[in-house]
Amino acid sequence: MRKQYHFRPSAQGLRAWDVHRLIALSEGLPVRRVALDTIGELDEVYWFDDDLERPTCRKVLMHLRLIQEADLRHPILLSSDGRVMDGMHRVAKAVLEQRSEIDAIRFEHDPEPDYVGKRPSELPYDDDGPHAAGPAAQPDGTSDPV
């Protein structure tokens, strides 16, 4: 899995969670079915931010490929307030398949972020994936795994 982060703005600056660490922390937590119509991010700008990444056709197609490759056997991760921390491509795939629910793990208490006040381009990326030089996308939510 390519290196990814979940991002969320805060008064202290942008907070970033390493998605690999979130997945490890979610091990053993209960998996529940969540109605797709309760996922607010479906009606928000998610992968693109005017300041950092514009939704060019090529970038939209990259996300389409990630949606097609998404594996719905893996539950999405939700923060304690129900926001998607990992799995937005899986959410999109489930919607495209006209499903009404998706498996999810919801943190009772959010883990502490790995970084605060760093831009996505300042974070370490240890692979040659699409965001290896630092993502220009997802400051509004996540750099979503497939």
Residue ranges of the domains in the chain?
A: 5-122
Query: Which pLDDT score, from 0 to 100, does residue 99 have?
Result: 98
AA letter at 20? H
What digits encode the pLDDT tens for the residues 31-60? 999 999 999 999 998 888 756 678 899 999
Query: Which pLDDT score, from 0 to 100, does residue 54 have?
Result: 83
What architecture is the 5-122 domain classified under in CATH? Answer: Alpha-Beta Complex (3.90)
Query: Which pLDDT score, from 0 to 100, does residue 133 have?
Result: 37
φ, ψ at 56 (rounded to 5°): -70, 160
pTM: 0.82
Helix, coil or strand: residue 53: strand
Q: Kindly give the parts of the chain with pLDDT less than 50.
A: 128-146
Q: What distance in Å separates the CA atoms of residue 47 and residue 45, rounded to the nearest whole number?
A: 7
Query: Which pLDDT score, from 0 to 100, does residue 51 have?
Result: 65
